[in-house]
Every structure is written in structure tokens, then in C-alpha cells.
Structure 1
Amino acid sequence: MISAYPGSAVRAAERPLLEAGAGPELMQKAAYGLYRSAAALLAQRRGRIYGAAVVVLAGAGNNGGDALYAASRLLARGAGATAVLTSEQAHPEALAAFRSNGGRVLQLRDETVSAALALCRESDVVLDGVLGTGGKGGLRSQAAQLAVLAPARLRRGESPAVIACDLPSGIDADTGQAAGPHLRADLTVTFGAVKTGLMAGPGAEAAGEIELVDIGIAGYLDAPAVQRLENRDIAALLTEPVPGDHKYSRGVLGIAAGSETYPGAAVLATGAALATGTGMVRYLGPEPVSGLIHAAHPEAVCADSTVPLTHVQAWVAGPGAGVDEDQRRRAVEAMASGLPAVIDADAIQAVEPGLGPQVILTPHAGEMTGLLNSLGERIDRPGVEADPLTWVRRAADLTGATVLLKGWATLVAAPGGPVYSQAEATPWLAAAGSGDTLSGILGALLSTDRTGTRGPGHYARLAAAAASIHGQAGRLAAESGPVEVSKLPEGVRSVMADLLHG
């Protein structure tokens, strides 16, 4: 499990050590960790450090000092380095060490911005040390013009690779918001604890890969604000059949999805659920959709019935329902059934307060906007996308349900907490039907759940696990080209096999 903390909590955890005079030691630990990550990246990309071109974007604070000290170590191994100072002040000892090892310095001013950008684009690695956890708002003045830099991951492997020191400059450490221009990274080397802002919204997208450097503050941290499941955590939530199981004991999932207008959604959800391991699917919906499901998945049992008359362990309702009133009614019945239920797409319009955490809403940003406004909030889609962490928590508290907000980093909030963030997906999953597949995966996990004690956040953990499985399956599928969502269950099966059997 990866735990993330607000920048304010990390600074509070550092305070006792700083008051004890350990500030220089903390900085050297951070700088050494940053150096090691930069050296490893250079070795991977170039084969060696000697002769590499490094640019340090150094602000006035300790982040700039960390980056300058790290670059000093790279200089000692034969790299060339230039420090672009974004402030008239820089960490004096770190700058002196950088200069003593042969580093060059360029003061960022209006007339030197073009030269600074040229240096960055011609370098092998850029170390971003402009702003730290205390920075609020985006990059300002001449530094804002550096935001045009694109990391190598966004430029198909071209130089430079961008490494953020603690977090990308211009990203809010507490929320992941980007209030203005900000830098984006291939890798963020963060110190002491992962920052919440690296797990949500623009911050998650800007962070790239995340590496944590232990500087000795873990014992001073309280409860995390956000967590991320790792594969071992997900494996612990999964259920394998045992001798004596039958199709009913393995878990029966009810799916009320699809319509004559959008029949494919039901087929996709059913395929994903079966690939995830549910023992049986009972489909409720119009006969033409049932025919398609039987053709693709003859093991599914289809009927034109109601939720109260259908015996299942969990429900998926809403994908592809469109304006079908019967499917809308089934979604309302699923929410009222007391059973775990995934409520997606058009069914989210029927959500009202008073649900329980076993009901899991799975909106994208547009659907979340509609839900929040129906509950009395005043927010638009850009507002949700700018600060998804705040709004996923708000939606969970307003509805009483567990809420999974889809995005580059998918966030899951239980009412009152906890919050999870999963970012295993590939951009190739931004395709029609992808959300229907996620609903099927989550529905299967709910139907096969044999957990005895279901404490706070249990359903949020299952939802986070589903998001991770979905993302990993997408990445696996993308290895052979663009993702065809109808083929995604093949990847789901492979991911499940890896999780269950190691």
C-alpha cells in the first residue's frame, strides 16, 4: 500500500528534526536520493553518466538546494550541468557546492528565457527544483514560460527527461491542483512521504513515475490522506474457487445494462465480469440485447424480469441504459436492494441521498458534474477536473455511497473516507465501452466477495482494486497496439491470473 500525505503534514513531520538541527542532514538525504534516481535514468537512456548534459531549474527554497546538491554529484561523475536560477536568491551552500564542482549558472530573466529553454531542450535531464511543497499557485514571471517544456514521455523518448524534485513545480502538494502554468515530469522523486498532490487531478498526470526517498520522518506522520493499492493488496481481496464450490456459491452477478439504442454496453460488462471470475451472470434487459449477449456469452442467463425477483449477490446497473425506462427502474431497484451495486452512466441521474457504502457510483467528470449539481452544488466540469479529490469526497458525503471518479488517476472515496487513487491505466483506455468493462470487473469483485468483516472503506478498496485491474489489463492490451475494448477481457484474465498465482 502506498500512502500519501498533504504537504502541510509532511512539513509538520519534518519540524521536530529541523528544530533539532537536522536540516542539513535531511537535505543531503534528499539530494542523494535525487542524484541516484537521476544517475539511474541517465545510465538507462545514455549508457553512462559521463558527458551527459544536465540542467537544474533552481528556485529560492530547499527544493532548489536539493536539486543543486544532486547536480553537484552528477558533475563529480563527469556530467556537465547548468543551473537556471529562477529567483535572485538560491540556497547559498548548495549553489557554492554546485559552482565548486564546475557547474555553470544562468540567471533567468526576460532576456535569458530563450537561452534557458534551449539549454533544457538540448540536455539529457532537467531537474525541476523551482517550487516545493509550500508553493501555492502556478509558476510565475519568467518561470511560467518554462511550462512549455514537455517531458520525454510526452515526446516519444526525445530528450530531455524531466525529473521533478519532490513534486512538479506549480502543483499543489495538498490537492493536485494546478492553479496556473506548471511543469510536467517523467519521474517525480519525492522526499519523506508521497504527497497527496501526486495522486490526484493535474498533479497525478504531471508526476509521471513516482519514487520515494526515505529521509527519516515516517514515525512523525499521522493517517494518510490518500492511499494506493499495490498488487499484493489487490490479491488479498480476491477469491478463488475451492473444492465444493458451485456456480451459485462462487457468486452470481446481476447486470441491468444496455438498451436497444446502446446494446454493446451490456455485452462488454458481461464479458468483463466473466473474465474477472464471477460464477454466473443473470442479465435483465430487452430481448434484442439478450440475443447479443447469448451470441457472445452463451453461459449468461437472460430474462426480462425485475430486480426484486432476481437472486444475485451484487448488481451492475446503468451502462448503456440510455432512455430505457425499464432499465432506469431496475437501477433504482438495485440501489434500494441493500446488495452491493455498481451504478454507472445513465443510472447516475437517478441517484438520491441516503445510499449506503455498498452502492458504488462510477461517474466520469461530466456525470459527476451532473450529479453534484442535482445535489445542490454549483460546479462545472472544468472545476471537477481541476480538483477531483475535493469533489469525489463531497459526492460520497452527499450521497452516502462509495464514489469512483474515473480519470487519469481514478479516485475512490468512501463516505467519511478513506480515499484511494489508482493510476495504472493507459491513455488507450480512453475509448467507448471502457467504462462498461470497468463496471463488469467491479461487479464481479462484489459478487465474489467473501470477506467476513466489512469495515469502513471495504467497498472503496474493492472499487480501487477494480480500477487497477482494468488499468493493468489496458496496459497489457496496449503492448500490441491500440486497445480494442471488446478484446479487453483477454487482458483481464491475464491480470487476474497474475494476481491470484503470483
Structure 2
Amino acid sequence: MRRAHTVEQVRAAEAELMAKLPAGTLMDRAATGLAVAISNFLGCTYGARVVLLAGSGDNGGDALYAGAKLARRGAQVTAVLLSEKYHQEGLEALLAAGGRVASDNGEGEPGFERVIVGADVVVDGIVGIGGRPGLRGRASALARATEEHGVPIVAVDMPSGVDVDTGETPAEYVKAALTVTFGTHKICHLIDPAAEACGPVHLVDIGLDLPPAAVESLQTADVRNLYPTPTGESDKYSRGVLGLMAGSAQYPGAAVIATSGALAGPIGMLRYVGPDAVAAAVRAEHPEVVAGEGRVQAWAIGSGLGDELDQGKVKELLDAEEPVLLDADGLKALDDAGDHVGVLITPHAGELARLLGVERSVVEAERLEHARRAAERFDVTVLLKGSTTVIAAPDGRVRVNTNAGAWLATAGAGDVLAGLCGALLAAGLNPFDAASVGAYLHAAAANLASNGGPITAMQVAAHVAEATRQVLLEE
């Protein structure tokens, strides 16, 4: 499990550990890990030109101490001090190791910019995890110059300017080629748009004793442990029966695609409930599907229903005991009255914006905030689709899925996901786990299908079984 903690949690853990260690030990651990990561990023330290953008906080100190370690290995290290309150001991260590401090020579920002031109890497130690979002003054100018000259940036803890606890980017921020963080991941490492600005994230263990995480991200072993595999005593009913209401005369393909996603999951049987013509199309592709209502363990409702949505029927199912997944047009039946603990909704940003009465751009900019808000307001588990999938439970728990590739953004992919998550509900997973496992396998299947190129939704569905097999058999 990849776990991300809040700034408050990290600071408390750091304070507790520092009280037990000699002064400077924690910063030395962080600086050593940072220097090793920068060296590995460069490939060769000797003769490399390294520029440190050092602010007033501990991240600036980490950068200066790491610069000293790189200078002792033969790197040409230059520090640009962005505050008069720089880390004095860190600067002394850098100068003693042969590093130097840049001077503008009376030329202002252009003088500092020349230090960046031709550098092999710029180290972003501008602000720490407690800094306000956005870049200001000289830091802003130098960050822009670094990007303009194509010099890669290694960020200390997080790209300066992002909001650490939300993943939001409300103002100018650094775009890193690598982020080196300490003790634990922070929320900004997992949630877009900030996660995209981090690049790959390298975690350095500095010995923190941390509380339960604010945000989690499942890894392969977690998915394997949660997946509902059958036993020797299982039959098609005990494995789970899913009821699917999807597709319409206008969108018959949605039913076929959602069915394909569901049948790639762990269920023993699928019942399709819908127009006869659509049922015929479903059974032509999947003859094992049973058409018509009957006993089910869960429902998946909404993909491609269009104007044929029967809101009264859906509201009736929402009040029943079986868990329900609502996707696409099915979301129109959701209201904020009643007990919806067994309900999973799978909106994209536009659909969630309509539910909450806000603009789509607001949801896209504040994905964590609005997923949590919807989960609390409607008493449901929310799977907010996007470049990083945010899954929020009504009790406040949050997971993020980060293994999706860009090619997964294709028509019908959401129908596959709805069918797959519905199957996991029918097989016995709770909505939070069903959403988490479904999102992971959906993305893994897309990566297999894509192999770096374009894909269709049906290709994604066709690779879910192989992605699941790889997860279950990986040691």
C-alpha cells in the first residue's frame, strides 16, 4: 500500500523523532537520500553542473546539505539563495565542500539566469511542505527560466508552488522531472493536477512513525489480497450474480461494453435487464448472459441508458438491500435523501459537477475536495474518473489509483469500468474496495491492451482477465 499523509501528520512525526535523535540527524538522513537520488538521476556526478534554488525552510537546508555531498563527489554545485534567512549550517557545509554561491553581479535576475543555462540539473528547494501554494518574486522568475532553458528539475519533497494537502495548483508552480520525498508520500504526490507536476516520486525512508494515512493507493499485492477468488465449493450463484441495466435504442453498444467488463470480473452469472433489441445485441456478443430480472447480489445501472432511464425503478433499487453502482445516466436518480451506504457512483468530472451544482473546471482543479464533498453529501462511495482516479468513502477514507495510462481516455472505457466494479460488488466486495480493485484492474488491462498505442473500450475489456491473472499469480 502506498500511503500519503498530511502536512500536520508529517510534522508531528518529525517532531517526535527529532526529540529522540541528536540534532541534525534527520536532515542528514534526508540530504543523504536526496544526494543519492540526484546522483542516480544524473548518471554521473563527477563534473556535473548542479544548481540549487535554496529557500529559507528545511527544504532549502536539505538542498544545501545534499549539494555539499555532491560537491565532494566532484560535482560543480552553485547555490542561488532566495532568502536572507537561508540555512546557515547547510551553506557552510556546501562552501566547505567546494560549492559556491551565485551572485547577480549587480545585473539582477538575468545574472542568476545565466547560472542555470547549461546546468545538468536544478534542485528545487524553494519552499517546504508548509509553504503557501504559488511561486513569487525571484523564485518564480528562476523557475520559469529553468523550464525555458530545458533544464530538468529535481524537487525536494514536492514541486514548490503546489498545495501539498489537496493536490491543487491554484497558482504558478514548479514542474519536476523527479521528486524526492522523505518519510512518507504526501497527498500532492498522488492526486492531480499536482501529481503530474511531481514526475516520478522517490521515497527516502528517514524513520518516521506515522499514524493511519489520509490517502492510500493500492499496489499489486493489495489488489491480490482483496480480489474475491472462488473456492472448490463455489458455484455460479455463490460467486455472485450481477444485474445490469445499461444501453438503449440510442446507445446499444454501451450495454455490450458494460457486459464485457462485468463478465471479465469474478461473477458467476450476469442478468441483463433492458429493451429486447439491446438484449439481443448483448446475447449475440455474450450468449452466456441471462436476459430478464431475477435474484441478484448487486446492480450496475446507467451506462448508455439515455432517455430510457426509469428513475422510479432505480430509486426502488436504491432503497433495496443489494448494493448498487450508478454510472452515467443512472446518476440522475441519485438524491441526497436516504441511506446510500451500499451505493457506488462512478462519475467523470462533468457528471460530478452537475451533482454538486458547480462548474466542471472547479471539480477538475479540486478533485479530492469535490469527491469527498459528494461522498459526504449523498452518503455514497464516489469513484471520480480521471487521470488519477479518486475514490472517496462517506466515512472519510480516500484511495487514489495512479497506474492508468493516457490511452485509457477513450469512448466506452467508463462502461467497462462500471461493469467490472459492479461484478466486484456482486462478488462480495464493499463499495470502497470494489471501486479500488476495479480501478486498478481496469487501468492494468488498458496498459496491457495499449502497449504504448491507441486502444478501444472492447480491447480494454478483453484484457481484464489477463490483467487479473497477472495480479493473482505475481509473487
List runs of 5+ in structure 1 lacking aligned partners.
304-308, 374-378, 452-457
1:355 maps to amino acid = D
Change in 2 beyond 3 A, CA 1:297/1:396: same
Deviates more, 1:170-179 or 1:328-337: 328-337
Q: Distance in 2 between matches of 1:100 and 1:142?
A: 26
1:213 deviates by 1.7
Tell me if structure 2 keeps the 8 A contact 1:249–1:279.
yes
Kindly indicate whether residue 246 of structure 2 is the aligned counterpart of residue 236 of structure 1.
no
Q: 2:50 aligns with which of 45, 50, 54?
A: 54
1:496 deviates by 0.2
Kindly indicate whether residue 348 of structure 2 is the aligned counterpart of residue 364 of structure 1.
yes
Tell me if structure 1 keeps the 8 A contact 2:103–2:111.
no
Change in 2 beyond 3 A, CA 1:104/1:289: farther
1:159-194, CA deviations, whole angstroms, 9 ceiling, x for partnerless residues?
644322111111122222222101122332211222
Kindly indicate whether residue 265 of structure 2 is the aligned counterpart of residue 247 of structure 1.
no
The corresponding residue for 1:313 is 297
1:479 maps to amino acid = N
Change in 2 beyond 3 A, CA 1:419/1:127: same
Change in 2 beyond 3 A, CA 1:20/1:433: same
Corresponding residue SS for 2:377: helix
Q: State the percentage of identical aligned residues.
A: 43
Tell me if structure 2 keeps the 8 A contact 1:204–1:408.
no
Corresponding residue SS for 2:51: strand
1:404 deviates by 1.2
1:112 deviates by 5.4
1:41-75, CA deviations, whole angstroms, 9 ceiling, x for partnerless residues?
222xxxx3333332322211110111122222222
Corresponding residue SS for 2:153: strand
The corresponding residue for 1:173 is 164
Q: Distance in 1 between matches of 2:85 and 2:25?
A: 22
Corresponding residue SS for 1:9: helix
- Count of matched residue pairs: 473
1:357 maps to amino acid = V
1:20 deviates by 5.8
Kindly indicate whether residue 63 of structure 2 is the aligned counterpart of residue 91 of structure 1.
no
1:92-135, CA deviations, whole angstroms, 9 ceiling, x for partnerless residues?
22222223333343358996555656655744333221111110
The corresponding residue for 1:258 is 247
Kindly indicate whether residue 26 of structure 2 is the aligned counterpart of residue 11 of structure 1.
no
The corresponding residue for 2:203 is 212
Tell me if structure 2 keeps the 8 A contact 1:161–1:186.
yes
The corresponding residue for 1:376 is none
Change in 2 beyond 3 A, CA 1:338/1:31: same
Root-mean-square deviation (CA), in Å?
Answer: 2.6
Q: Runs (4+) of structure 1 moved beyond 6 Å?
A: none
Tell me if structure 1 keeps the 8 A contact 2:122–2:146.
no
Kindly indicate whether residue 325 of structure 2 is the aligned counterpart of residue 325 of structure 1.
no
1:330 deviates by 4.5
1:359 deviates by 0.5
1:241 deviates by 2.5
1:183 maps to amino acid = V
The corresponding residue for 1:387 is 366
Q: Distance in 2 between matches of 1:493 and 1:253?
A: 17
Change in 2 beyond 3 A, CA 1:193/1:250: same
Q: Distance in 2 between matches of 1:492 and 1:38?
A: 37
The corresponding residue for 1:163 is 154
Tell me if structure 2 keeps the 8 A contact 1:54–1:80.
yes
Deviates more, 1:406-415 or 1:198-207: 198-207
1:430 deviates by 1.7
Tell me if structure 1 keeps the 8 A contact 2:109–2:138.
yes
The corresponding residue for 2:416 is 437
Q: Distance in 2 between matches of 1:470 and 1:109?
A: 56
The corresponding residue for 1:292 is 281
1:204 maps to amino acid = A
Tell me if structure 1 keeps the 8 A contact 2:241–2:268.
yes
1:488 maps to amino acid = V
Q: TM-score, normalised by structure 1?
A: 0.87
Kindly indicate whether residue 439 of structure 2 is the aligned counterpart of residue 467 of structure 1.
yes
1:220-271, CA deviations, whole angstroms, 9 ceiling, x for partnerless residues?
x333211111111111111222224332222211111112222222222111
